[in-house]
Amino acid sequence: MTTANAVFLFVLAVGAGFFALNVQRLVAYLRLGQRENRLDHPLVRIKNLLSIGIAQTKIFRDPVAGAMHATIFWGFMVLTAGTVEILIQGVFSGFSFALMLPRPVYLLYSLSQDVFALLVVGAIAFAFFRRLVLHPKRLEGDHLEHLDAYLILGMIGGLMVTLLLANACFYILDPASIGPEKFVSRGLGSVIGRLDPSPSTLAPVFWWMHALLILTFLNYLPYSKHLHVATSLVNVYLSNTSGPGQKGVMKPMDLEADVESFGAADVEQLTWKNLLDGYSCTECGRCTAACPANITGKTLSPRKIVINTRQRLMEKGPVVTGDRMEFLRPALLHGEGGDAGATTVADVAAHRLLDTYITEEELWACTSCRACVQECPVSIDQLEIINELRRNLVLSESRFPEEVQPAFESLERNGSPWAFNPGDRALWAEGLDIATMAELAERGDRPDVLFWVGCMGSFDDRAKKITVAFARILKACGVNFAILGQEEHCHGDPARRMGNEYLYQMLAKDTIGTLDKYAVKTIVTSCPHCFHQIGNEFPQLGGNYDVIHHSTYIERLLQEQRVPLSTDEGKRLTIAYHDSCYLGRYNDVYDAPRETLRRALPVVTLVEPKRSRDRGLCCGAGGGRMFMEERQGKRINVERTEELLATGADAIAVACPFCMTMMSDGVKAVSSDVPVYDIAEVVAERLSTRA
């Protein structure tokens, strides 16, 4: 071992050691969080890792930035092998993978290093161009965020350049040392060779620069948003946002637990996975750019929620773990307003994630549309953090917008978020000859399917028309169905979305009791919120039913040709279908409503608004926002309505009563007279007169 080797070994030890200390520290902070098992369903997790992580599927949702990032990422992965080789060579000069690999494999490996180094240089150049010249809106952070980005881009670029230059110089000094597969290095070497025929100093200098850059880069990670380099693949594996299990299901809560507080007010009440999400955020801003609240000028930014979680953990972690190594404390706590400026331990104790970092206003602005979760390339679950903080606000502190209180009280007293008489629930069915479960049970009879109407469909004048339309379709198809009538009451989803888990569980358990009393197996509903709640969240409380949304159900009926449709052409319509968040992003139902429209209207043109399907913009009513005032910025429903109207469609179609209200209001607000229909109404309108 030469002196150089010994020095390098020392440097390596220090660099690696320092990194290990930081890793240990960061892991210790994660332990502050609640426990959670994320090692179940390994096959699904591996699939996610391969597609979202390795194949970068979510990154490519932005094709240009996606190509750029994928290049850098794949380059990184490929070049890691080379990095290992170089670090070993630093200690054992004679080492090479050529000694271990079969020749063809080694050649391929060697070629890949060169090619990717060049590709990455190109991608980095584009990245600089993008930040400096193109200024994409979602990358607008504070000066520290920019500095961080330039440092990283610079270091990566530097790594590639020093690698190529080192190889080039070694090639000049000893052409045999760089194989012909390394055509980039060789090419570069030919050029440099004309300037300096014997770069005997430069070669090792470039090599050392490269090696030191590796160690610098590594140790910079914990202080940078680029920590995601270390955590993102792990985060994707451990995430549930693309399964395993049903998407968009809120975490179960044990209300009997003898705990001081419910939900989360600070980082220890989040799970270690939420905290890992904090580490993994690259501040790319795709979530915030897709957030309907943020787009319309509210203070909510999903990116900020995640960064704040990390900032708070970095603020509190050292104090709780008794970490005395103050100089290890990250200085670059930047982004989204900076950290809360704690200078003493007392400050840290007085702060918490809720209020100090994340305000009520932000939390209540969320429509739970899941666009942020959909976009995140490292599978962060922003919504989970928002929901846990909401639970704390409501259950522990009774803090929520005052206009929500009547909704809670009405749910408790009347079983509906609006103050309507429960006795009026089935008035829409008068004269339609629809049996109730109770009536059938009295005769010892049971229907094939229960039509769950929902509160909107039972009480709202506009939504009642949807209910009647769907009931007519069911009758025309001879479906053996019944309704709960006055025995139906809200399943509690609005309460749950607004953080009131206590009220939710009361209503949900009672509903499960009623459904089980009648041994209900199959349910069809025209409301996506009811669909999601009963079908996907009830199992948490022991209610297991097969629930179908009416768009899927009608499509099935149409496919089976059971729907007696009029034979004439019907109106020539251009329709813009508005995707419901709880149907679409939550349950992947995008095609059924569209197919339904196509089958029902033989001459129809479907046009897609700019943001469509899994990028569809929320109507603004989800997450309990239907029951809240919108006080800031532009109205979300107007933003979406304008987008739908911009398609030039003759009509807007929806598949959700909340969307119906929001789009109808939106159309009126912009003084348009474009009609809004539910897909059930479109089909019912086409029922042949014999039906």
Partner 1 sequence: MPHILVFAETRGDALRKFALEAVTAARALADGLGGEVHALVAGPPGIAGKAAQLGQYGADVVVTVEDASLATFSREAIAATIAERARAGGYRAVVLGFSAQGRDLGPRLAAKLDAPIAADVTEASMSGDAIVVKHPAYANKVIVTLELSGPLAILSTRPSAITAAEKPRTPRIETMALASPGAAKVTVKEVVEGGKGKIDLGEAPVIISGGRGLKAPENFKLVEELAAAFGNAAVGATRAVTDEGWRPHSDQIGQTGRQVSPQLYVAVGISGAIQHLAGMRTSRTIVAINKDKDAPIFKVADYGIVGDVLEIVPALTTAVREAKSHH
Partner 2 sequence: MKIAVCIKRTPDSESRFKIATSGVSIDETGLKFDLDDFASYAVEVALQLNEKQGPGETVVIAVGPDSVQETLRKAMSMGVDRAVHLKTDVVPPDGLAVAKALAAELRGGGYDVVLFGKHAFDTSAGVVGTATAELLGVACVTAASKLDIAGGKGTARRELEGAAETIEFTLPAVVTIDEGIARPRYPSLKGIMAAKKKPLETKPAQLGAPRVKVKSMQLPPDRPPGRIIGEGVAAVPELIRLLQTEAKVL
Q: List interacting residues with partner 2 (CB under 8 A).
A: 255, 261-262, 394-398, 400, 402, 405, 408-409, 413-414, 419-423, 502
Contacts of 212 (CB under 8 A, 6+ apart): 11
Q: How far is the CB of 364 from partner 1 (least distance, A)?
A: 13
Q: Are 581 and 370 in contact (CB under 8 A)?
A: yes
Judged by beta carbon distances under 5 to 8 A according to partner kind, the member of partner 1, partner 2, none in contact with residue 413 is partner 2
How many contiguous H segments (helices) and E segments (strands) does the chain have?
28, 8
Q: Residue 19 or residue 420: which is nearer to partner 1 going by CB?
A: 420
Q: Residue 184 or residue 411: which is nearer to partner 1 going by CB?
A: 411
Q: How far is the CB of 534 from partner 1 (least distance, A)?
A: 22
Q: What is the token pair recorded at 415?
A: 């079983």
Q: Residue 610 or residue 631: which is nearer to partner 1 going by CB?
A: 631
Order across the sheet with 546-549: list the strands.
Answer: 481-482, 449-452, 522-525, 546-549
**For the packed helices 461-476 and 657-669, what is the interaxial angle rounded to 10 degrees?**
130
Judged by beta carbon distances under 5 to 8 A according to partner kind, the member of partner 2, partner 1, none in contact with residue 19 is none
∠ at Cα 64 (58, 65), nearest 5°? 60
User: Exposed/middle/buried for 191, CB within 10 Å: 0-12, 13-18, 19+?
Assistant: exposed
Three-class DSSP category at 622: coil
Three-class DSSP category at 29: helix
**Using the 8-state DSSP alphabet, how is residue 241 labeled?**
B
Q: How far is the CB of 499 from partner 1 (least distance, A)?
A: 18
Could you list the residues that contact partner 1 (CB under 8 A)? Answer: 403, 406-407, 418-420, 459-461, 627-630, 668
Q: Are 132 and 125 in contact (CB under 8 A)?
A: no
Torsion of CA 251, 252, 253, 257, to 10 degrees: -130
Q: Residue 458 or residue 596: which is nearer to partner 2 going by CB?
A: 458
Q: Residue 8 or residue 502: which is nearer to partner 2 going by CB?
A: 502
Judged by beta carbon distances under 5 to 8 A according to partner kind, the member of partner 2, partner 1, none in contact with residue 281 is none
* Strand 546-549 to 604-607 pairing: unpaired
Q: How far is the CB of 628 from partner 1 (least distance, A)?
A: 7
Judged by beta carbon distances under 5 to 8 A according to partner kind, the member of partner 2, partner 1, none in contact with residue 634 is none
Q: How far is CA 523 from CA 163, 453, 627, 679, in A?
A: 63, 10, 26, 19
Closest CA to 266 of 277, 253, 256, 275: 275
Q: Residue 413 or residue 610: which is nearer to partner 2 going by CB?
A: 413
Q: Residue 126 or residue 418: which is nearer to partner 1 going by CB?
A: 418
Q: How far is the CB of 423 from partner 2 (least distance, A)?
A: 5
Judged by beta carbon distances under 5 to 8 A according to partner kind, the member of partner 2, partner 1, none in contact with residue 140 is none
Q: Residue 380 or residue 628: which is nearer to partner 1 going by CB?
A: 628
Q: Residue 208 or residue 420: which is nearer to partner 1 going by CB?
A: 420
Judged by beta carbon distances under 5 to 8 A according to partner kind, the member of partner 1, partner 2, none in contact with residue 396 is partner 2
Q: Are 152 and 203 in contact (CB under 8 A)?
A: no
Judged by beta carbon distances under 5 to 8 A according to partner kind, the member of partner 1, partner 2, none in contact with residue 163 is none
Q: How far is the CB of 404 from partner 1 (least distance, A)?
A: 8
Contacts of 568 (CB under 8 A, 6+ apart): none
Q: How far is the CB of 637 from partner 1 (least distance, A)?
A: 12
Judged by beta carbon distances under 5 to 8 A according to partner kind, the member of partner 2, partner 1, none in contact with residue 207 is none
Amino acid at 191: V
Q: How far is the CB of 523 from partner 2 (least distance, A)?
A: 25
Q: Which DSSP helix (H) or strand (E) runs through 495?
A: helix 493-497
CB atoms within 10 A of CB 201: 10
Q: How far is CA 579 from CA 576, 607, 638, in A?
A: 10, 12, 15
Judged by beta carbon distances under 5 to 8 A according to partner kind, the member of partner 1, partner 2, none in contact with residue 403 is partner 1
Contacts of 344 (CB under 8 A, 6+ apart): none
Judged by beta carbon distances under 5 to 8 A according to partner kind, the member of partner 2, partner 1, none in contact with residue 414 is partner 2
Closest CA to 303 of 225, 399, 393, 389: 225
Q: How far is the CB of 293 from partner 2 (least distance, A)?
A: 24
CB atoms within 10 A of CB 24: 11
Q: How far is the CB of 517 from partner 2 (least distance, A)?
A: 17
∠ at Cα 407 (403, 412), nearest 5°? 145
Q: Residue 354 or residue 395: which is nearer to partner 2 going by CB?
A: 395
Q: Residue 389 or residue 456: which is nearer to partner 1 going by CB?
A: 456
Closest CA to 621 of 681, 578, 590: 578
Q: How far is the CB of 516 from partner 2 (least distance, A)?
A: 21
Judged by beta carbon distances under 5 to 8 A according to partner kind, the member of partner 1, partner 2, none in contact with residue 262 is partner 2
Judged by beta carbon distances under 5 to 8 A according to partner kind, the member of partner 2, partner 1, none in contact with residue 253 is none
Q: How far is the CB of 516 from partner 1 (least distance, A)?
A: 31
Q: Is the dihedral of CA 326, 330, 336, 337 positive or negative?
A: positive
Dihedrals phi, psi of 319, to nearest 5 degrees: -70, -45
Q: Residue 94 or residue 423: which is nearer to partner 2 going by CB?
A: 423
